[in-house]
Structure 1
Amino acid sequence: MTRQGGERQVQDMGHGDHLCLAFADDAEQRRVVTAYLAAGLQRGERVLYFADLNEPGQVLGWLEAAGADPGAALGRGQLTVTTADDSYLAAGSFDADTMVATLQQEVHDALAAGWNGLRVSGEMGWALRGVPGAEQLGAYETKVNAVFAGRPALAICQYDARRFGTAQLHEFDRRHPGAVELDALYSDAALRLVPAFRAGQRALRVVGTVDYRTTEALAGVLETVLGWPGDVWVDMSALEFIDLAGMRALARAAERLPAGRRMHVVELAPMLCQVVSVIGWDEHPSLTVSAGEGPA
């Protein structure tokens, strides 16, 4: 699924953004969150962080390791790192409208205090604890869009794909106007290979051109992707060109999947789907190729 707002690298975020961050390992989360928070401090914004699985001290440690000075930011009131229990669940339960009102007030207060805007991020794993009101999270994500749209404020909502189910990830992701793009597994002037999530499934997004210069890079990244659990999804919606050697690399990677797992190559140009069919690569039981979004 290609969303209206698309994916955006964290360094390209600006005021008005409300993006979803789905991640599958701690290093991914730390890289994105640290860059996001540090940028807010550097730009003179008020920064709020709502921790859940991580302790507030860990988050402050990320900033310190990145060369920021969280102690000074805390002292001047620019930075607050608190917990989900003291923010989303401050009343002992979750109420979407109350939290929306709280964020609206935070935007007002940040500007009144002379900061250049408000930057927020929250770990959303608290919703899996069975707390009262957690069923309002989807509605909250939709309502909170209005807090940030067109205003000097921005937010990242964090969803750990190891804890949230596929359907849950898809539901919460689609409530956001856009998503954070994770760090590329490979990037040069012609090709970027980026881990992503589509319909709640972990996927590899192929952006640019696969030819004699980049086929080896694609084959190498596919080796990494084969190590992900479950089926392999390869999103070709941003592909500009792929030659036969590139298609062969996909087919060979699919052939190495163990029984019961499949590679789904989706949103491939119809002409290329025909080429795959003519050659017979799609006859292998572990490979499916589709011009559309493919099976959900």
Structure 2
Amino acid sequence: MRTSGVLGATRGLGLHDHICWPYEDPEEFRARVLEFLADGLVLGQQCWYVSEGPTEVLTSHVAELGPALESGALRVVSVDETYGGATVTPAGQVATYAAATEAALAAGYAGLRVAAEATPMVRGDEALEAFCRYEHLVDRYMAGRPFAAMCAYNRAELPEAAIGELACMHPASGADAAPFRLYAASGDRVALDGELDLASRERFPRALDRVGLSAGTGPVVVEAAELEFIDHHAMFALARAAGGEVVLRTRHRAPARLAELVRVPGLRVEAE
């Protein structure tokens, strides 16, 4: 099982986990990086710390993990070297991390773990949109391969709306990041948790578009056991995005009753 929901720290995450961590205090951010990378080292993953700035300064941020730096189990990598430009190419960046994960496995590690301060990659509308799309593509890769990531964003440099767009594409996030999360589940399914109400009316359709739901030869299945609330606007948005039959699997009975009441075409709610 992948970790999902709102978390108060970055420790205890597994080989396939993916967390969005907005921050205000640089010292607090570095503490979260250390706990995230330290856990990865215990799990046997090769770890990268990716950020902007001089190598010697970045190395000082993780000096506490010195033995891992010396052995190569932990690397300090610049944003430019990792992402190669101001606007990411989503599929190309996933391929880059996939190759790095396979290289880590070939070297005897249990996979790859990256703590990335990605604020420089989301400055401007075009860069933000490309990175949001990348976040889902790489999340789908993580669901099946031992690659874990912490994506950090500086609240002092980014509008809160931009952080919300990014956070909702992750299975897990820090507090006050986004009211819902749409992310990769097993196979070609997606999962949905949190709350979908008036506050999500514009953001949820954009997130669905980035995921690219497709009915294909069978219904789209959305795993929503941890979804606390969904209104009829979100139900219609989900049905439109699927373009065919969509099954929402939830542990609550209220969505099933609401779907019967408003008669959303193509949507079936299964209350487990």
How big is each residue's C-alpha offset from its partner over 1:169-218, in whole Å with a ceiling of 9 and x where there is no partner?
Answer: 110000111114xxxxxxxxxxxxxxx21448xxxxxxxxxxxxxxxxxx
The one-letter code of the counterpart of 1:164 is L
Look up the match of 1:175. Answer: 169
Give the corresponding residue for 1:86.
Answer: 81
**Alignment check: 8 A CA contact 1:15 1:150 kept:** no
AA of the residue aligned to 2:36 = Y
* Amino acid in structure 2 at the alignment position of 1:82: V
List aligned pairs for 1:59-78, cutoff 5 A: 59-64=58-63, 66=64, 68-69=65-66, 72-78=67-73
* Contact 2:18–2:139, Cα closer than 8 Å, also in 1: yes
**Cα distance in 2 between the residues matched to 1:132 and 1:171:** 13
**What letter corresponds to residue 80 of structure 2 in structure 1?**
D
Q: In 2, are the aligned partners of 1:100 and 1:144 still within 8 Å (CA)?
A: yes
The SS at the match of 2:165 is helix
1:150-189 paired onto structure 2 within 5 Å? 150-180=144-174
Contact (CA 8 Å) 2:114, 2:150: kept in 1 or not?
yes
Structure 2: stretches of 5+ with no match in the other structure: 180-194, 196-227, 229-272
Looking at structure 2, the residues matched to 198 and 35 of structure 1 have their Cα atoms a distance apart, in angstroms, of 20
CA distance in 1, matches of 2:170, 2:18: 6
- Tell me the equivalent position of 2:57: 58
User: What pairs up with 1:264-279 in 2 under 5 angstroms?
Assistant: none
Q: Distance in 2 between matches of 1:115 and 1:13?
A: 17
* CA apart distance, 1:129: 4.7
**Residue 120, structure 1, aligned to residue 120, structure 2:** no
Give the conservation status (yes or no) of the 8 Å contact 1:21–1:156.
yes
Alignment-derived partner of residue 91 in structure 2: 97
Q: Give the fraction of aligned pairs with identical amino acids, expressed as a percent.
A: 31
Do 1:18 and 1:145's aligned partners in 2 also have CA atoms closer than 8 Å?
yes
Given that residues 50 and 117 in structure 2 are in contact (C-alpha distance below 8 angstroms), is that contact kept between their aligned partners in structure 1? yes
Which whole-Å CA distance do the structure 2 matches of 1:133 and 1:154 have between them?
Answer: 22
Q: Aligned ranges for residues 9-88 of structure 1 at < 5 Å?
A: 9-52=9-52, 54-64=53-63, 66=64, 68-69=65-66, 72-88=67-83
1:153 to partner: Cα distance: 2.1
Deviation at 1:135, TM superposition (A): 3.6
Contact 2:13 2:39 in 1 (8 A): no
Instruction: Compute the RMSD of aligned alpha carbons.
Output: 2.6
Query: Contact 1:107–1:118 at 8 Å: present in 2 too?
Result: yes
One-letter amino acid of the structure 2 residue matched with residue 197 of structure 1: D
> Structure 1 residues 106, 43: closer, same or farther in 2, change over 3 A?
same
The equivalent of 1:191 in structure 2 is: none
1:113-137, Cα deviation, whole Å (9 max, x unpaired)? 1012211121111124559855411
Tell me how far apart the structure 1 counterparts of residues 61 and 82 of structure 2 sit (CA, whole Å).
Answer: 21
Separation (CA, whole Å) in 2 of partners of 1:122 and 1:154: 11
Q: Normalising by the residue count of structure 1, what TM-score does the alignment of the two structures yield? A: 0.54
Match status 1:108 vs 2:87: no
In the superposition, the TM-score normalised over structure 2's length comes to 0.58
- Cα deviation 1:233-263 (Å, max 9, x = unaligned): xxxx9xxxxxxxxxxxxxxxxxxxxxxxxxx
Unaligned runs of 5+ in 1: 181-195, 201-236, 238-266, 268-296
| Amino acid in structure 2 at the alignment position of 1:57 | E
Q: Please identify the structure whose Cα radius of gyration is greater.
A: 1
Q: Secondary structure at the match of 2:47?
A: strand
